Amino acid sequence: MAFLGGVPLAVAAAAPHQAAIVLIELGVIFLVLAGLGRLAARIGIPSVPLYLLAGLIMGKGGIFQVDAGEEFLSVGAQIGVVLLLLLLGLEYSPIDLKNGVRMTWQAGLLDIVANTAPGVAMGLILGWSPAASMLLGGVTYISSSGIIARLLDDFDRYANRETPVILSLLVMEDIAMAIFLPIVAVVLVGASIAQGAVAAGAAIGIVAVAFFISLRYSIQVSRVVHSHSRELLLLSVLGLAFLVAGLAEAAQVSAAVGAFLLGLTLSGQVADEMRSLLPPLRDVFGGIFFVFFGLSIDPRDLVPVLVPALILAVVTAVTKIATGAWAAARAGIGPKGRWRTGLSLIARGEFSIVIAGLGVAAGAQSMLGPLAAAYVLMLALAGSVLMRFADRIPVPRIIAGKPKQQPLGAP
């Protein structure tokens, strides 16, 4: 057999051909994303739901099947989650977060109960195991920090009075995920309750230490990271983000939570500059994340789960609106702001996908992936559209409250 540099000539000849296929597939994917992004901008909706649909079309059972570039897309999807949550963390200051969580912790507890219960109940009704049902409860519980943060920016709502309430609830959900994911990982491998408790305790400890560092040492960390060179600053922050996310993942806390906590720690000029440098990277890799999830789902598998997905979507949209409106009312927000808060929390996305992916990989329930995909597609699209037109939709009387009675004799 002929060799070239120790590599068989047949393999060496095949390598450029494989690289060409990968580049062609990636080129097609990026052009499709560009076209869908333009379409979304023209019709006034976010691009995320269209990216999910693109993944379904280009994946298993789709029109154009991607195989060669799948490994790159897998890594790109992980990078997308890290960047989405890193930028979300950069929008906070530690003090704002502390005050927000203190103000909304009761609503956060209501959020857990009201939005986890429908998923768990549906799983049990479908005859799934308790572990798979618990995973479905996680899917229905958590709103999409990535989608919502992006929409708040797209619709220029960061300055709204209700936005701190929305962000505080999202943070509490992400913290809950930092505890939930290690427990789920332990349950899926059949470990004991004690091992699950240890994993949850470790996760809480890591999150507590990260919060302590962000509250006490954010200025010092930012001073070390800062550079007058935008190139060096970007390299430093990205290096830290991937390192922290990887360590968090190794500790079963979730790479996304690790990235969020790093974003929270960076402050001042570093945070300001990164908010201008990172969005293009976030949008590209975030798009890859949603496409990659769609690629993993065969559209034919969605048909049997459309009815339970639709039921869950309607029920949990209502429970999210109720939770958000109640939290905003407790913060003294007016009826319009309460309505916008509730509608803003409807969208599900990255964490729901991550949770479903854990269950599918562990073999907990084969239909969990398709059901989560259908559910996320419905609520990512519905939540995005409702958030876009929130001010044009009349506020329901139950949220607006009873009108004040006029004194007798008043005009």
55 inside domain = yes
Distance CA(367)–CA(377), nearest Å, equals 15
The pLDDT of residue 264 is 79
Cβ neighbours of 410 (radius 10 Å): 6
pTM: 0.76
E strand segments, 197-275: none
Q: Which two tokens stand for residue 90?
A: 């950069």
CATH of the domain at 341: 1.20.1530.20
- The residues, ordered by sequence, that sit 6+ positions from 302 with a Cβ below 8 Å of its Cβ are 56, 309, 370, 373, 374
Q: Which two tokens stand for residue 275?
A: 């908010």
Distance CA(281)–CA(84), nearest Å, equals 9
The pLDDT of residue 222 is 85
352 inside domain = yes
Q: Taking a C-beta distance cutoff of 8 angstroms, is the pair 264, 89 a contact?
A: yes
399 inside domain = no
Q: Which two tokens stand for residue 126?
A: 């479908």
The pLDDT of residue 351 is 76
Digitized pLDDT (tens) for each residue of the chain, 411 residues in all: 554 455 454 444 455 667 787 788 788 888 888 898 888 888 767 777 788 788 888 777 666 676 656 677 778 888 887 887 788 778 766 676 677 677 778 888 999 999 999 999 999 999 998 888 989 999 999 998 777 877 887 788 877 888 888 888 887 887 787 677 767 767 776 666 666 677 667 767 777 777 777 777 778 888 888 888 889 999 999 999 899 888 877 776 667 777 877 887 887 788 888 888 888 888 888 788 778 777 777 788 888 899 999 999 999 999 999 999 999 998 889 999 999 999 999 998 777 877 887 777 777 788 888 898 889 889 988 998 898 888 889 999 888 764 443 333 333
**Closest to 278 in 3D by CA, of 88, 33, 34, 46:** 88
Residue range 254-281, pLDDT digits in tens: 677 778 778 878 877 888 888 888 888 8
9 inside domain = no
Residue range 43-68, pLDDT digits in tens: 767 777 788 788 888 777 666 676 65
Distance CA(349)–CA(145), nearest Å, equals 8
Instruction: State the Cα angle at 46 between 42 and 48, rounded to 5°.
Output: 125
The pLDDT of residue 68 is 56
406 inside domain = no
Distance CA(243)–CA(255), nearest Å, equals 9
411 inside domain = no
Cα 387 versus chain centre, distance: 16
Residue 401, phi-psi category: left (phi > 0), alpha (psi -120 to 50), beta (remainder):
left
Three-state DSSP state, 8 = strand
Cβ neighbours of 217 (radius 10 Å): 14
The pLDDT of residue 306 is 93
Distance CA(376)–CA(313), nearest Å, equals 8
The pLDDT of residue 327 is 92
Residue range 84-136, pLDDT digits in tens: 778 877 876 667 667 767 777 888 899 999 999 999 999 999 999 888 898 99
Distance CA(110)–CA(55), nearest Å, equals 34
**Closest to 90 in 3D by CA, of 290, 235, 238:** 238
Cβ neighbours of 136 (radius 10 Å): 32
Q: Taking a C-beta distance cutoff of 8 angstroms, is the pair 149, 124 a contact?
A: no
The pLDDT of residue 409 is 38
Q: Write phi, then psi, for 20 (nearest 5 degrees).
A: -65, -45
Roughly what angle, to the nearest 10 degrees, separates helices 255-265 and 163-188?
A: 140
**Closest to 395 in 3D by CA, of 335, 342, 345, 341:** 335
The pLDDT of residue 310 is 96
Range 225-232 contact pairs with CB under 8 angstroms and sequence separation of 24 or more: 225/266, 225/270, 226/268, 226/269, 226/270, 230/273, 230/277
Three-state DSSP state, 189 = coil
- The residues, ordered by sequence, that sit 6+ positions from 246 with a Cβ below 8 Å of its Cβ are 255, 258
Give the domain range for residue 151: 16-393
Total domain count for the chain? Answer: 1
Q: Taking a C-beta distance cutoff of 8 angstroms, is the pair 169, 327 a contact?
A: yes
The pLDDT of residue 208 is 76
Distance CA(48)–CA(217), nearest Å, equals 35
Q: Which two tokens stand for residue 354?
A: 């991550």
The length of the chain in residues reads: 411
187 inside domain = yes
